[in-house]
Amino acid sequence: MRTFIAIDLDESLKTALETLTGEFRPLAGSVRWVGKTGMHLTLKFLGEISETDAVRVSSALEEVAPRHRVFALVLEGTGAFPPGRSDPRVLWVGVVPGPPLLALQEDVEREMEKLGFEREKRRFHPHLTLGRVKFPSRLDLLVQELEKHRAEKFGEMSVRKFTFFQSTLKPSGAEYTVLKELGLA
């Protein structure tokens, strides 16, 4: 099963981001936009794992959750990967990297490493993917529109839990199933 660990967004934030992507859609036909149900902040992508490993991951995450308190998650700014180019691959909304979020992500990363999952080599750059470019093309108008929202605040929420998800890839996009929700202290 294909799995990852993430913070699911409040409905109000999902609605705000859905409105934002609605503004961007007419500017780029070559983008696969993330639907409202797929909006989340990934803490750790695990990839394909066995059911036995899923049980081990769930147990490890049960140890992580009580070590962290409820905290505020702030969505701010837009951008693209790779940055500064007119042919981006991923379009995103930024997440303010506050100490509680960074501590939770690092704790998850460390516990998964203990289970044999490879540590992410890139520095954690908290973001919510809005869309993925299906094929390289010049997206100058879209990049300009993203730039207009670079410093905009899109809202905030209290993070009370994080979730261990299964992801099933379908022609219509990824479908997510909750394997375990883990409440913070």
Residues 6+ apart with CB under 8 A from 171: none
Which among 16, 38, 46, 11 is positioned nearest to 131, based on CA atoms?
38
- pLDDT at residue 136, as a whole number: 66
- pLDDT at residue 135, as a whole number: 79
Kindly state which CATH superfamily the domain 2-183 is placed in.
Answer: Cyclic phosphodiesterase (3.90.1140.10)
Question: 151 in the Ramachandran plot: left (φ > 0), alpha (ψ -120 to 50) or beta?
Answer: alpha
pLDDT tens track for 103-145: 999 999 999 999 999 999 999 999 999 999 987 666 888 888 9
pLDDT less than 50: residues of the chain = none
Residues 6+ apart with CB under 8 A from 2: 47, 48, 49, 166, 167, 168, 169
- The catalytic residues are 40, 127
